[in-house]
């Protein structure tokens, strides 16, 4: 599939949902803003009547910055089909309508159970070269992920399957490759010899915002750590690729994740909490348990932490902490690497400078490197100086970056089946500890920084 030949048709299953309107279509709009001549047709499909679909499409693409000519070209060629993707006859009708399966992507913006049921029906049909794009989560646990992957493998090749995770489209996440492997200053430091501990954090101010139907059965561990943050971890710890292509990159990510495990007793190596009423950026936020559609007795966490080790020569003994929370004081997505103290500090140098560290801010692209220097006031007193640089921002939103690869048939930014299973494997002991009540459910007021634990012991 390529923009240089016939148009690629993107068929969005679940087109009436929040994800399509809030993220997927605006992301496509940013892609069209960057590549206004890209040829793509967009069809929508859902169980709802949606007579205003073309207008919704226009509005969302324009919101992403797509030029008026591109917006109108896509909207004038759009179609909307009301159907149930778990009904065989409805699927037959959809497949009959698709003009060229070899240049068509079915995008499942649907819950995992619905996607799996629909794929079971598709497995019984002749699909030609049809590509599938599945929104995360890929299953709800390790067993369901394995079952879904086995099912997909019966009727599609891995190259025809795109498991979507928009974190892989973040410019700052991809910027890790250049930061790590193209800098003589940083590359030698990226080992257990120099790094004492690492934290990967994704705190967000957004609360539930009407997503109880999905989120209350998932929680922060499944929604953020199992997918997004473990994928970031794999890029932080992987070995240097010989070339940045899908095979090499995904092999190295899988290799890194296979070496990753929970740091000891999962009840000790994890934390969970949920927000109570508070104020976020001046706006009142009700308690999570008072959100419409939430079952308070389910004990769903809105903040999760998990400590892991990567058992290989490069990272042996270094604790990694993954953390994400909703309704927090600030949007703070970052990677922090704390460096070890120097083996010997010369006598006569005073002061207690903070440990050197490297911080990568995933939202702004800002990189901070702290250095210990002599104080300007007293040449024998130490202080910390921070050097700052910025990864050039992308004009294309993460969903647009990932969609570009999907539309061109390039799996570089999609999640391979074995990688999705490794992420579930890593999280399973903590999920079981949560379910068994071995990890107490704490509380934090919305608009605060939430509970913190001491860094994991070496």
Predicted confidence (pLDDT) per residue in 123-169, tens digit = 999 999 999 999 988 999 999 999 999 999 999 999 999 999 988 88
The two three-digit tokens of residue 271, written as one number? 């934390």
Residue 5 has pLDDT above 70, yes or no: no
**148 found inside a domain:** no
Domain tally for the chain? 2
Both 200 and 336 in a single domain?
yes
CA distance 412 to 156: 17
Domain of residue 339 covers 168-445
Both 93 and 212 in a single domain?
no
> Lowest-pLDDT range, 94-103, 165-174, 420-429?
165-174
CA distance 288 to 284: 12
- Check whether the bond before 23 is cis (ω within 30° of 0): no
* Backbone φ and ψ of 131, nearest 5°: -100, 150
Position 300 confidence tier, pLDDT thresholds 50, 70, 90: very high
Q: What residues are paired with 263 via a beta bridge?
A: none
Contact 53, 82 (CB under 8 A): no
Q: Average pLDDT of 208-220?
A: 89
Position 454 confidence tier, pLDDT thresholds 50, 70, 90: low
CA atoms within 13 A on the CB side of 56: 22
Position 382 confidence tier, pLDDT thresholds 50, 70, 90: confident
CA distance 411 to 438: 39
* Torsion 347-349-350-356 (CA) sign: negative
Q: What is the CATH number of the domain that holds 66?
A: 3.40.50.720
Both 185 and 303 in a single domain?
yes
- The chain-wide mean pLDDT, for the chain, equals 92
**392 found inside a domain:** yes
Both 249 and 173 in a single domain?
yes
Contact 367, 359 (CB under 8 A): yes
Q: What residues are paired with 79 via a beta bridge?
A: 43
**155 found inside a domain:** no
Percent of the chain beyond pLDDT 70? 94
CA angle 180, 184, 185 (to 5 degrees): 85
Q: Average pLDDT of 70-83?
A: 96
Both 114 and 216 in a single domain?
no
8-13, strands of its sheet edge to edge: 79-82, 40-46, 8-13, 104-108, 131-135, 161-164
The residues that are catalytic are 228
Q: Could you tell me which of 78, 88, 92 has the C-alpha nearest to residue 20?
A: 78
| Element housing 232 (H / E) | helix 230-237
């Amino acid at each position: 599939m390529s923009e240089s030949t016939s148009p690629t048709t993107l068929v969005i299953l679940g087109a009436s949902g929040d994800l399509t309107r809030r993220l997927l279509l605006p992301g496509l709009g940013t892609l069209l803003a960057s590549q206004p001549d890209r040829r793509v047709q967009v069809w929508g499909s859902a169980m709802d009547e949606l007579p205003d679909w073309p207008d919704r499409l226009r509005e969302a693409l324009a919101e992403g910055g797509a030029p008026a000519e591109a917006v109108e070209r896509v909207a004038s060629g759009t179609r909307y089909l009301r159907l149930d993707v778990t009904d065989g006859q409805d699927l037959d009708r959809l497949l009959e309508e698709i003009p060229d399966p070899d240049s068509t992507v079915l995008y499942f913006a649907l819950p995992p159970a619905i996607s799996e049921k629909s794929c079971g029906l598709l497995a019984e049909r002749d699909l030609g070269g049809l590509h599938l794009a599945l929104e995360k989560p890929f299953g709800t646990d390790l067993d369901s992920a394995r079952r879904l992957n086995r099912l997909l493998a019966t009727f599609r090749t891995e190259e025809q399957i795109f498991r979507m995770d928009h974190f892989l489209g973040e410019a700052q996440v991809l910027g890790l490759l250049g930061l790590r492997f193209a800098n003589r200053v940083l590359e030698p430091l990226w080992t257990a010899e120099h790094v004492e501990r690492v934290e990967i954090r994704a705190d967000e101010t957004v609360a539930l915002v009407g997503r109880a139907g999905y989120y209350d059965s998932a929680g922060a561990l499944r929604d953020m750590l199992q997918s997004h943050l473990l994928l970031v971890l794999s890029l932080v710890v992987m070995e240097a690729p010989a070339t940045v292509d899908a095979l090499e990159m995904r092999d190295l990510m899988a290799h890194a994740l296979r070496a990753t495990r929970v740091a000891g007793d999962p009840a000790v190596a994890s934390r969970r909490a949920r927000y109570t009423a508070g104020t976020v950026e001046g706006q009142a936020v009700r308690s999570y348990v008072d959100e419409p559609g939430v079952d308070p007795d389910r004990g769903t966490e809105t903040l999760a932490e998990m400590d892991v080790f990567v058992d290989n020569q490069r990272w042996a003994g270094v604790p990694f902490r993954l953390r994400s929370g909703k309704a927090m004081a600030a949007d703070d997505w970052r990677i922090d690497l704390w460096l070890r103290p120097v083996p010997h500090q010369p006598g006569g140098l005073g002061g207690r400078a903070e440990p050197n560290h490297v911080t990568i801010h995933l939202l702004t692209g800002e990189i901070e490197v702290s250095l210990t220097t002599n104080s300007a006031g007293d040449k024998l007193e130490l202080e910390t100086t921070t050097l700052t640089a910025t990864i050039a921002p992308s004009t294309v939103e993460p969903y647009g970056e990932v969609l570009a690869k999907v539309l061109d048939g390039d799996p570089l930014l999609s999640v391979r089946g074995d990688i999705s299973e490794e992420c579930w494997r890593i999280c399973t002991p903590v999920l079981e500890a949560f379910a068994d009540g071995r990890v107490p459910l704490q509380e934090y007021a919305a608009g605060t920084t939430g509970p913190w634990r001491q860094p994991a012991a070496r």
